[in-house]
Amino acid sequence: MPEVHEDIKEVLISADEIQDKISDLAKQISEEYRDKDLLLVGVLKGAFVFMADLARQVELPIEFDFMAVSSYGTATKTSGVVRILKDLDYEITNRHVLLVEDIIDSGLTISYLLRYLQARGPASLEICSLFWKKGEQAVPLEVKFPGFEIPPVFVVGYGLDYAEKYRNLPYIGVVKDEAYRAEGT
Ligand code: IMP
Ligand code: MG
């Protein structure tokens, strides 16, 4: 068992649990999109770790694209105002698009992206999010491929950051209060 990072007070979901869930999700996705051509759209930066692991378990030919967005807000809460930092490289008209997100909290970021992409006329548009703070959504949201439901706490690891740190942890966990304080000074 590798050591837990010194700034982490509690591991919420282990690396093994995450990998098991990804196998499940990849199976569902391979079924759903059999005989269709699938475009995975990752939401940067957070989703890059999940997308890489997920895609390698999906047994279909896949193409990839990425969007980068930044949500205005505090360090740990988004305001719902989303800025597109990088748009898609390719057209999605008549294509089957699966949006790959790391985590859904208020749901405002993903709702914005859904509206933005829907306007381009994809053949289908669905969401796969590894983590989901269910019950926190400001607007109803249909997540076709949900991973873990987690409590409404701020987590880091597996692509998720606090002030750009901890994205490379293979598990997700909660940061110690001291680590937040050190950052704020
Ligand atoms: P939402 O718009 O409130 O659903 O927030 C979505 C975005 O906020 C995610 O794509 C993450 O980048 C970030 N976020 C939400 N919750 C967390 C968390 O617990 N840890 C790290 N980032 C988070
Ligand atoms: Mg994100």
pLDDT class of 183 with cuts at 50, 70, 90: low
Contact 80, 112 (CB under 8 A): yes
Mean of pLDDT over the chain: 92
Give the residues surrounding ligand 1 with Cβ less than 6 Å away. Answer: 46, 71, 78, 101-110, 154-156, 160
pLDDT at 1: 59
pLDDT class of 90 with cuts at 50, 70, 90: very high
Q: Return the best residue to mutate from 105, 130, 165, 168 for the ligand 1 pocket (most ligand atoms within 8 A of CB).
A: 105
pLDDT at 169: 98
On the question of pLDDT at 62 being above 90, the answer is yes
Q: What is the pLDDT of residues 117-166, one digit of tens each?
A: 999 999 999 999 999 998 888 788 999 999 999 999 999 999 999 999 99
For the question of whether the overall pTM of this predicted structure is more than 0.85, the answer is yes
Residue nearest to atom 22 of ligand 1 (CA): 160
Where does residue 56 rank: exposed (0-12), middle (13-18), buried (19+ CB within 10 A)?
Answer: exposed
Considering only residues 77 and 67, tell me which one the structure prediction assigns the higher pLDDT: 67
Sheet holding 96-104, edge to edge: 78-86, 62-73, 38-44, 96-104, 124-132, 145-149
